[in-house]
């Protein structure tokens, strides 16, 4: 069913060109589980064919991702805490664990947002704890844009250089995903070590 929905959205919104990229990436970055892998690589391929601008594809992809993330952020800011206090038991989230998550995000929100944007299955939802913790919107937008920018650039370049060869593209995406997980793990370890060293000095 999801595949049919994806095909429908690509066919109906994709023909809009750059606004279509923004719209689809908005969906991908918000609650709707829409894969960016079916949006940006084809646009990158069209750029290689001279039908679109690679820079514009990347810019529209980042903009759409940021707008979707901001939507999630403000949703969580307004109703997130109330929602989890009332319905959190159905998601195994207690008020105590919610408060602990808020405190963690207030201390480590920037790195969490950046890393979260690079990890599959997390990038769509990392904006929610940012909103609940009332992370500064300018800091949130900066690190969201940085993380989303890396992901969008990778997808666009894959589409640009590999084209519409789905088998090769899937293999490349698998390798990239593993690489990003290793990259994020390294960043987290370095950040944790520096944070611990800083606390020891103080």
Residue 152, pLDDT above cutoff 70? yes
Mean pLDDT of 120-131: 88
pLDDT of 31:
75
Cβ distance 37 to 51 under 8 Å?
A: no
- Residue 81 tokens read as 């805490």
Condensed to tens digits (0 to 9), the pLDDT of residues 65-82 reads: 999 999 999 999 998 888
How far is Cα 196 from Cα 60, in angstroms, rounded to an integer?
Answer: 38
Distant-in-sequence, close-in-space partners of 17: CB < 8 Å, separation ≥ 6: 52
The most confident of 42-51, 82-91, 184-193, by mean pLDDT: 184-193
Residue 104, pLDDT above cutoff 60? yes
- Domain boundaries defined on the chain: 2-201
| Side-chain-side CA neighbours of residue 24 (13 Å) | 31
Residue 2, pLDDT above cutoff 50? no
**Pick from 62, 18, 21, 51: which is nearest to 38 by CA?**
21
The structure's pTM equals: 0.86
Least confident of 15-19, 73-77, 96-100, 155-159: 96-100
């Amino acid at each position: 069913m999801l595949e049919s929905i994806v095909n429908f959205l690509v066919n109906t919104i994709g023909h809009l060109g750059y606004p279509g990229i923004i719209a689809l990436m908005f969906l991908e970055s918000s609650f709707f589980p829409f894969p960016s892998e079916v949006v940006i690589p084809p646009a990158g391929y069209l750029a290689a064919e001279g039908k679109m601008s690679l820079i514009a594809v990347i810019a529209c992809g980042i903009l759409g991702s940021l707008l979707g993330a901001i939507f999630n952020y403000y949703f969580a800011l307004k109703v997130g805490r109330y929602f989890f206090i009332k319905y959190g038991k159905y998601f195994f989230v207690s008020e105590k664990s919610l408060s602990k998550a808020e405190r963690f995000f207030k201390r480590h929100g920037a790195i969490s947002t950046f890393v979260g944007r690079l990890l599959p299955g997390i990038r769509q939802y990392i904006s929610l704890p940012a909103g609940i913790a009332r992370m500064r919107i300018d800091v949130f937008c900066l690190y969201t844009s940085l993380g989303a920018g890396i992901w969008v650039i990778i997808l666009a370049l894959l589409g640009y250089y590999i084209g519409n060869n789905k088998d090769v593209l899937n293999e490349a995406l698998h390798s990239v995903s593993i690489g990003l997980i290793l990259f994020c793990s390294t960043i987290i370890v370095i950040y944790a070590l520096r944070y611990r060293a800083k606390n020891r000095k103080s």
